[in-house]
Structure 1
Amino acid sequence: MSAATMLLATGCGGHQGPGSQTAQAAHQRPVERGSVISATSVADLTAQEVESRLKKAGIETAQVRYGVQAHRIIYRTVTAKGKPTTASELVAMPKNGPRELRAVSWLHGTQVYRGDVASVNDESTDRATALLFASTGRAVSAPDYLGLGKGPGSHPYGHPRATVTASVDALRATREFARRDGHTLARSVLISGFSQGGPAAMMVGRALQQGHDPSFRVGALAPIAGPFDLSGFEAGAADDDLNRSPLYLAYFATAWNRMYGLYDTPSQAFRAPYDKKVETLFDGNHTGGEIAAALPRTSKELFTADFLDKVRKPTGKLRRQLHALDTTCDWRPEAPVHLFHAKGDKDVSFANSQHCRRQLIANGVHPKLSDEGNVDHNTTVIKALPEVIRGFDATR
């Protein structure tokens, strides 16, 4: 029987002898969020094998100290509306590491295809990133978020509550799995994330500081190349100022329409013939390459003029929902904050991290902001990761 099957089988059976009423009552109790449903081994690497995998991804290997075991965990959480559901994450842990481990919460960037996340795609940069953090002697929780990986339904792209609950419940599942593996997790959590994961890191950090789960506290925050001014980011996509503007804005439009109702019919947002197929493309089962090939090269060709104006000058509910994502840095972290970005980033401009830094300064915090230079969006995270680890090493 596999480890995953063993976890699922515990407590099951048809015996109705003495004590069965107690057993039935236990099964009827609400299931605890963050509880582990299954665990599937996806990697078991020596330190040398970790180094080889990181080199393949272009990631510096000087900080590797341990081999790594990684598992795909299915755990219990809640939907954006608070209803029970499940989600997946990658949990990576050092082999022969210390008994007590500090946890890293790694929050990934925009993924349109459910199979590209860390728990599923062995070749993903997010998988390599988790291996790197674990190889430094830390336990890594890398949630896939709702609706990606092995989670059911569609991904609620950028939904604040869903981002926090899926990520904190993933930390709870990581703690449970670590105990079964003979480890304990320290209270202090080191939080980092890339692109979409930048604002996610700040939201999760704020929730933990506010006591979302008192058994965890924020040890450090290190967001990388995040769209902290989402209103400005989407307006830039409407104006075709970004690399991949049509893809970013179409993902935003279809996901937020499901959550908030941005349009009544696709033809109100999308020009023909794209109005007949865009929503199907963003079902989580198409790769980024497939979607990009099916879309025009500009937002002007893809969207109606009225919808583009709505994005440039949001009002009402759209404006309120965007404001929540424009203010993920508008609080006072008690833990160190180090922002990373690159002035060469043509997907998410450097101005986004400056926006975050200004909000933090207004709250009395003076974070570092490191410029990774004239490199593109995806290279930014590759360059920043060794610096993130050095910063984490300096915290206690």
Structure 2
Amino acid sequence: MTLSAVTLFNSRHRSMRPVATGLLWLSLFFSVAAGCKSEAQPAPAATPATPVATHLISSTLIGEYSPAVLAQRVSSVPLAGALARFPIRVYKLTYSTQTPAGQTITASGALLVPVASQPLSLLSYQHGTIQPDEERRAPSYYSSSSEVWSAVSLLASTGYVVSAPDYIGYGASKAQAHPYEHGPSLASASLDMMRAAREFCKREKLPLNQKNFLLGYSEGGYATMSLHKLMEEKYAREFTVTASAPGAGAYHKTAFANYILSSDKPLNFLSSYVWVLDTYNKVYGINRPFPYYFNQPWAGQLQLNPFSSVPSKPAELFTATFRQGILSNTDQPMSTAFRDNDVYDWKPTAPLALFHGTADDYVPYFNSEDAYKAMRSRGATQVELHPIEGGNHFTSAARYTLEAFAFISRY
């Protein structure tokens, strides 16, 4: 699901063994991003991709940042700046991808490239929820409110090439509606960004090794799981997943829908669940009117503004007809959409660690627990479950940051 605004986790990387001790500092980075000043040089004009590129369209240098600048961004965290090793160059890439309907469009993302001579690993970082009115938080803007600004940039400075897709609906594709929590398009947009990143590195003669890491929390965790599944099941000859560490994702959509619609207790995040429902209603061509799903007056309000406030009790917001159809499994169109977005029950071969707060009331813990049990029952031997005891969706982000990087640093 989501993890809005500045609390969303922010960070990634593995490499050097000394990073393990420095990871503790990374968990504090969330308070650092706001208010930092860029020392970027003026960006040159976009350069077109070479004719051999199949996904990359253009690259624009946003700026080059020294280890000292990156350290300054986290100056409130004792000793964290000592992790900065290489200068990094940050680029905005545009690349071709497809919408859920199969239309080829231009999307964008940020590419963070350490200035180093040795071959580096590629790390795909999937960001969390960005509301439509927060569009400038998308990675390619590289603003102080973007998740890639501080911790992710610092981690790139330790030696990862970081590919950070905006997703469809942000950056170059902002004219499109973001297909919120739609697993197939989150995965394909992220994979196409990785392809564009490799094409860029090849064109610029920046050596990559064969290691590919995947990270993300909340909607980014769900996108990471969807990407991992896509890469192993359909593109294993093109990419090998070295390790992935998704955090707090809504992997078991069918169970999540039943959890919401059967609840008689207030839920704090119904507006996000409304966004998911609206996405599936459109993407899967169900196209029912809002009054089918929502009681009045909220049906009318949501039709005018899908992000308007809603009541906290599901029975008050959702119609009895809709709730009964899902809970009895007789609403075939929407039940099929939920199943199509389940990514909990498959067999990964690469090491995969699931991180989740046990008291998460936004994306319940059972999403990760169900994934772990299903994967292990299919014979997946390199799947780990890391419960964050007592953590909710937001307080668990720091622990996720620390432990996810400790996990991938093994590989």
TM-score range normalised by the length of the shorter chain: 0.7 to 0.9
Q: 1:208 aligns with which of 224, 227, 231?
A: 231
Distance 1:371 1:98 in 2: 38
Aligned residue in 2 for 1:103: 122
Aligned residue in 2 for 1:388: 404
Q: 1:296 aligns with which of 311, 320, 345?
A: 311
Residues 1-396 of structure 1 correspond to what in structure 2 (within 5 A)?
A: 3-7=44-48, 33-41=54-62, 44-54=64-74, 63-94=83-114, 96-113=115-132, 114-120=135-141, 121-151=143-173, 152-212=175-235, 214-238=237-261, 239=263, 243-282=267-306, 291=307, 294-314=309-329, 315-326=331-342, 328-366=343-381, 367-395=383-411
Secondary structure of residue in 2 paired with 1:125: coil
1:259-311 Cα deviation digits (max 9, x unpaired): 124452222222333323424534xxxxxxxx36x333443333323223334
Amino acid at match of 1:82: G
The answer as to whether partners of 2:53 and 2:199 remain within 8 angstroms in 1 is no
Instruction: Say which structure, 1 or 2, has more relative contact order (CA 8 Å, 6+ apart).
Output: 2
- How far apart are residue 103 of structure 1 and its match? 0.6
The answer as to whether partners of 1:145 and 1:155 remain within 8 angstroms in 2 is yes
> Does the C-alpha gap of structure 1 residues 349 and 241 become closer, same or farther in structure 2, counting only changes over 3 Å?
farther
> Does the C-alpha gap of structure 1 residues 176 and 235 become closer, same or farther in structure 2, counting only changes over 3 Å?
same
1:359-386 Cα deviation digits (max 9, x unpaired): 1101212422112332331332322223
- How far apart are residue 174 of structure 1 and its match? 1.1
The answer as to whether partners of 2:344 and 2:367 remain within 8 angstroms in 1 is no
Amino acid at match of 1:108: H
- How far apart are residue 33 of structure 1 and its match? 4.5
Amino acid at match of 2:48: L
Amino acid at match of 1:244: N
- How far apart are residue 54 of structure 1 and its match? 4.7
Secondary structure of residue in 1 paired with 2:194: helix
Secondary structure of residue in 2 paired with 1:110: coil
Amino acid at match of 1:278: L
The answer as to whether partners of 2:127 and 2:147 remain within 8 angstroms in 1 is no
The answer as to whether partners of 1:175 and 1:184 remain within 8 angstroms in 2 is no
Secondary structure of residue in 2 paired with 1:358: helix
- How far apart are residue 65 of structure 1 and its match? 3.1
Secondary structure of residue in 1 paired with 2:90: strand
> Does the C-alpha gap of structure 1 residues 207 and 69 become closer, same or farther in structure 2, counting only changes over 3 Å?
same
Amino acid at match of 1:329: Y
Root-mean-square deviation (CA, aligned residues, Å) is: 3.0
The answer as to whether partners of 2:252 and 2:344 remain within 8 angstroms in 1 is no
Distance 1:358 1:186 in 2: 33
> Does the C-alpha gap of structure 1 residues 320 and 313 become closer, same or farther in structure 2, counting only changes over 3 Å?
same
* Unaligned runs of at least 5 residues, structure 2: 1-41
* Unaligned runs of at least 5 residues, structure 1: 11-25, 283-290
Amino acid at match of 2:137: D
Deviates more, 1:367-376 or 1:241-250: 241-250
Q: How many residues align?
A: 363
> Does the C-alpha gap of structure 1 residues 224 and 262 become closer, same or farther in structure 2, counting only changes over 3 Å?
same
The answer as to whether partners of 1:254 and 1:279 remain within 8 angstroms in 2 is no
Secondary structure of residue in 2 paired with 1:340: strand
Distance 1:48 1:233 in 2: 45
1:194-226 Cα deviation digits (max 9, x unpaired): 122223222222222234263321100111111
- How far apart are residue 178 of structure 1 and its match? 2.4
Amino acid at match of 2:191: V
The answer as to whether partners of 2:57 and 2:96 remain within 8 angstroms in 1 is yes
Amino acid at match of 1:318: M
The answer as to whether partners of 2:59 and 2:94 remain within 8 angstroms in 1 is yes
Distance 1:384 1:138 in 2: 19
- How far apart are residue 134 of structure 1 and its match? 1.0
The answer as to whether partners of 2:281 and 2:334 remain within 8 angstroms in 1 is no
- How far apart are residue 394 of structure 1 and its match? 1.4
1:50-105 Cα deviation digits (max 9, x unpaired): 344356799976754334332222211111122210111121122x3244110111
1:143-183 Cα deviation digits (max 9, x unpaired): 12111233131112233332222111100111122234441
Distance 1:68 1:240 in 2: 50
Secondary structure of residue in 1 paired with 2:358: coil
> Does the C-alpha gap of structure 1 residues 74 and 143 become closer, same or farther in structure 2, counting only changes over 3 Å?
same
- How far apart are residue 139 of structure 1 and its match? 0.5
Secondary structure of residue in 1 paired with 2:58: strand
